[in-house]
Amino acid sequence: MVCAPLTGYGRGGLRRRPALAFDARLLILAADDGRIGPLAAGLDALGWRTVTARDLVSAELTLQDFPLEAAVIDIAAFDSDVAIRLRAAAEPRRLPIMVIGARPDSIRGADLTMSTPPHPAQAALRLEQLGRAAIAEEEFHLRVTTFATRNVKLDARSEDDGPLRVLAAGVADRRFLALSNALTAAGVEVVAAPTPYTAFDYLHESPFDAAVLWGAEDHAPALSIAAGMKRNTRLYHIPLMLYLRGRNEISLAELFNRGFADVASADTPEGETAERILALAGAHRTHLGIRKTLDSVRSLELMDPATGELFASHLARVAEASRARKRPLSVCVLRVRETESVTWARQGGWLDRAMPQIGAMVSRLVRVEDTPARLAKEVFALALPATHAEPARLAAERIAAVIGCTAFDAGPDRSPFVAEFDVGAAEMRPDESAAALLERASADLFEKTR
């Protein structure tokens, strides 16, 4: 937002682009553009539209007024508690914060610190990851309250309370050994794997919180490990760092598109690289615990029609929180479409036999921060926090398409049947109740089927 033509400065040094609607996603707090301007321009180009504040007061007011998703701070002109101030200004929204130009141990309250500005593709990837984690954390706290009404206690602690475990893959040299020593000194269990084969042996044998891959001259071994991990559903989410061996010509944007969460250049001090790996590993373990907990209650029978009031109460809680956090909220309704094969399956009781499997599929296909529920015998609802109507509709249609590819038993004398769905979606309006939102989503379903 800041990189488009400007009309000057607004309140308290806030730079804005003239627009009818405030469409920025990211706050930049920087006294000038000298160090952080190119990063802001790159983020704008990648869809992370920015607004820049030149002082802390302007930044705080902007966070209070607008639904910004994250913040990047150039620390040069600010105190070490600036991240804490911004986080407090955004409450109750959980604000991911990246700080540029500081040592990791010198800043309080930041999710990520870097001595120099990262590549825009890297920053966008990390901000996206941090944002998803923040939304999951917000939903976890809401769900704790909701399930407490049914005496179900949720605990987000990881099953593994031991030290962080990091896989260090690649042929060791002085810098790689120095990095391993720095991680070990911080209490991390470092497992060395000299080849891609041993790396995958270790990855399949035991869990890891992060992996750092040593970039050889051609980067081929590191890229092969990364590609293999991203093709594996169990290893996909383990954060990867590439530790460059020299100043090779390599496209950073390509690396981040291949799934690397971070890339440390050859001139990055080992201590900073170690801190960045610690941040990746610690955040991964914390949010893995939250996500496992959320996943464990998505398919509980507490959300079926007999206790549908629990979904209603949770939706009301989510709606209230979304308004307070200035985040969007959408609801989708999926109803089994009346087809000839479904009519026959219903008459023989085969549709009733298939509904538990269909419900389980709906639960598995949504994000962990989304709440699925069974509203009626053949009707499901989804509450999707931090999601606008069209992306929500697309998500529901993808779920319906996946289930529509599954054949269900229709009895010994008939061919298997498939369950298709009609989909309705609605995004919460200002001052709209959760019940009214659900009614609009249901009404949209009927409008689409006329």
Sign of the alpha-carbon torsion through 419, 422, 426, 432: negative
> Measured between alpha carbons, how far is 361 from 374 in angstroms, rounded to an integer?
12
Report the Cα 7 to chain-centroid distance in Å: 34
Is the CB of residue 137 less than 8 Å from the CB of residue 269?
Answer: no
Task: Using pLDDT thresholds of 50, 70 and 90, give the confidence band for residue 223.
Answer: confident
pTM for this entry: 0.80
With a cut of 70, say whether residue 17 has pLDDT above it: no
Specify which residues 51 forms β-bridges with: 27
DSSP characters over 197-234: HHHHHHHHHS--SEEEEE--SS-HHHHHHHHHHHT-TT
Q: Are strands 26-29 and 112-114 parallel, antiparallel or unpaired?
A: unpaired
Question: Half-sphere exposure of residue 395, counting CA atoms within 13 Å on the CB side?
Answer: 26
CA nearest 371: which of 321, 429, 406, 326?
321
With a cut of 50, say whether residue 2 has pLDDT above it: no
State residue 4's pLDDT score. 32
With a cut of 50, say whether residue 23 has pLDDT above it: yes
Task: Indicate the range of 80-89, 249-258, 433-442 predicted with least confidence.
Answer: 249-258
**Non-local CB neighbours of 300 within 8 Å, separated by 6+ positions:** 152
Q: What percent of the chain has pLDDT over 90?
A: 45
> Measured between alpha carbons, how far is 330 from 319 in angstroms, rounded to an integer?
9
Crossing angle of the two packed helices 37-45 and 120-148, in degrees rounded to 10: 70
Is the CB of residue 266 less than 8 Å from the CB of residue 245?
Answer: yes
Q: List, in sequence order, the alpha helices (H) in 149-195.
A: 174-185
With a cut of 90, say whether residue 302 has pLDDT above it: no
Task: Using pLDDT thresholds of 50, 70 and 90, give the confidence band for residue 94.
Answer: very high
Mean pLDDT of 395-406: 94
Q: What is the DSSP letter of 9?
A: B
**Distance (Å) of CA 393 to CA 257, 384, 397, 441:** 26, 10, 6, 10
> Measured between alpha carbons, how far is 50 from 25 in angstroms, rounded to an integer?
6
Helix (H) or strand (E) holding 27: strand 26-29
CA nearest 262: which of 122, 93, 53?
122
Task: Indicate the range of 65-74, 178-187, 267-276 predicted with least confidence.
Answer: 267-276
**Distance (Å) of CA 348 to CA 258, 330, 353, 355, 411:** 49, 36, 10, 13, 8
Joined together, the tokens standing for residue 364 give: 């598995």
Helix (H) or strand (E) holding 16: none
What is the set of domains in the chain, with CATH numbers?
11-118 (3.40.50.2300), 165-296 (3.40.50.2300), 301-448 (3.30.70.270)
Angle at 233 between CA 232 and CA 236, to 5 degrees: 75
On the 0-12 / 13-18 / 19+ scale of CB atoms within 10 A, 134 is: buried
> Measured between alpha carbons, how far is 318 from 439 in angstroms, rounded to an integer?
16
Report the range out of 7-16, 65-74, 190-199, 371-380 with the highest average pLDDT. 65-74
